[in-house]
Amino acid sequence: MKRVSAVIGAIVASSAFAAAASAAEVPPCGQRAQLIQAMKQMFDERPKATGLISTNELFELFVSPTGTWTVLVTNPHGISCIAAAGENWDQKPGELASRVPTN
């Protein structure tokens, strides 16, 4: 949660979305370009993967060389919300694939 707060602080400092940041129950949201710039500057996070959640929402995963990661969900109007963030990202596709149960 510290990472999300840091990104929120950077965006609020640039007055991008002060109203959303003041409400604790609202996910941290703002203009996609501003959130991506803050994640790049603060954590060196870069795009790693994307996918469509629905016909209207884009899922994006950003990862840094040090293992921090952030998931953004973006609507068609360019508003993104931080859906999740964390540390210790570890890319192990072979191991993960072998753990998925098959029915």
At 92 the pLDDT is 73
Strand order across the 58-63 sheet: 29-31, 79-86, 69-74, 58-63, 46-52
At 90 the pLDDT is 85
Please state, as a whole number, how many other Cβ atoms lie within 10 Å of the Cβ of residue 25.
4
Phi, psi of 69 (to 5 degrees): -150, 155
Q: How far is CA 73 from CA 58, 78, 97, 99, 101, in A?
A: 6, 10, 24, 26, 27
Q: What is the mean pLDDT of each run of 10 residues along the chain (103 residues)?
A: 56 44 63 93 94 90 95 94 92 61 59
Q: Which distant-in-sequence residues (6+ apart) come within 8 Å of 96 by Cβ?
A: none
Tokens, residue 91: 């890319």
